[in-house]
Structures are given as structure tokens and as C-alpha cells.
Amino acid sequence: MPPADDRYRLLLPRQAYWRESNLMKIPNTNLAEQLGSEKLGARFWRLPPYSANTWHRHVEQDELYVVLEGTGRIRVGGETLTVPKHGAVLVPPSCLRQVFNDTEDDVLWLVVGAPRHEPGADPGTIYPEDPRQLPAELEGRRWPPESPR
């Protein structure tokens, strides 16, 4: 009989490692990496009030966005969608997308993508425009927060 870790892996909430994303400083935890997935990407993204993730796309990866807490907002191409709690959006690789939060409450997203790795993906392909640009709904706001000096 194979060891238990060959059949499944369990990550309890207290064991999850959270960090801020590099560009936009959004708290997230890489579930797939912590569970040892080689084929699937999966993260929780907790968007603070009046924040946004990067404006980006992928080469091969389909992404499924699911709102777990709050009301989600996402730009896909030229459209802005409002996604209620437990609602979901599937975005194909070539579409530019950005989750954002234009409310006073945190929003928790589960983002699942496959294939997990996109070897040799050119940053200019992933970010064909400024990845830090904010949607019109956040006009007049500043995000990400400035780093302390």
C-alpha cells in the first residue's frame, strides 16, 4: 500500500503560508505549491479595500476565479464583472484580466489555473501593458501601498 502522501495531501488553515505579492502587495497563499501540485496552480488572494491585483494574461493557463467572501470585481478585456459570493468566472489564457476591490470590505478569491507552469513565458506576453494600472473604478486611489523607506 502506498504512503498516505501519495494519495492526498492536506493543508490546514493554520499551516498555510501567506505573503504579499511582489508587484501589487496583495496577501496570498500558494495552495498548489504548499500541497506539492505539479499540474495545477491554486491560490487564495485576499484583496484589501480599494486594491487591485496585476493586469495580466497567460500563455497557456486557463484560470478559474471563485469569490469565497465578499463581492468580487474583475476586469476581463474591456468588460468589468461583478461576481457575488460563490460566483465564478473562467478566463482563457489570452484575455487580459485583473481582480480588484472597490469596496470597504476584504474580498477573498480562490484562483485555480492549469497548466500550472508556463515555461519560458516572456514577461512582455504576460504583461503587454502596465501591470500596475488600476481599473477606472479605483480612479483617484493609490495602490499598491508605498514601501517604507
> pLDDT, tens digit, for every residue of 91-138?
999 999 999 999 999 999 999 999 988 877 888 999 999 999 999 999
> pLDDT, tens digit, for every residue of 69-85?
999 999 999 999 999 99
Give Cα 23 to chain centroid, integer Å. Answer: 12
Q: pTM of the full predicted structure?
A: 0.91
Distance, CA of 76 to CA of 57 (rounded, Å): 10
| Cβ(65)–Cβ(73) below 8 Å | no
* Strand 72-76 to 62-69 pairing: unpaired
Residue 18 Cα distances to 10, 28, 84, 96, 137, angstroms: 16, 5, 24, 25, 27
H or E stretch including 63? strand 62-69
